[in-house]
Copies of this chain bind each other. A is one copy, B any other.
């Protein structure tokens, strides 16, 4: 079991605030940030060698235990952003991904985290999912040198 924070590599996911991501107040509709964090998490996995195809082939998914976000500044239509993701913590079968969302001018827009289970379908998609102990080899993929 890990004590303290994991020293993680950082993934970068580029995104942009689209017209339909905004609400009548003219700013980003907040669930968009969670859509971005989810996509950023998959992208982060891919950068470590666990792309969508491999995840599918191994019948893996990463169901959520919890998610949270603090909103620091409003984003507007057209803003180019990036989500910077890192592993904040590896537990036995779960892990925490911390995300920073930053606009291209350097303004921090939001800070969030997802707690996820390292999961596998018992018998392919659509069948029940179980958490599995995260192998050291998987953790090593995310360890910064």
Contact = CB atoms under 8 A, between A and B. Distances in A.
A39 interface: yes
A24 B66 contact: no
A52 B78 contact: yes
Given A67-B68, A69-B68, A70-B65, A38 B18 contact: yes
Nearest to A52: B78
Copy number in this complex? 4
A107 to B, nearest CB: 15
Interface residues of A, number: 43
Interface string A81-121: 00000000000000000000000000000000000000001
A145 B42 CA distance: 41
A114 to B, nearest CB: 8
A49 interface: no
Interface string A7-21: 000000000101110
Interface of A: 16, 18-20, 22-27, 29-32, 34-35, 38-39, 42, 46, 51-53, 56, 61, 63-71, 74, 76-78, 121, 124-126, 129
10 contacts: A18-B39, A19-B24, A19-B52, A25-B61, A25-B121, A25-B129, A51-B78, A52-B76, A67-B69, A125-B125
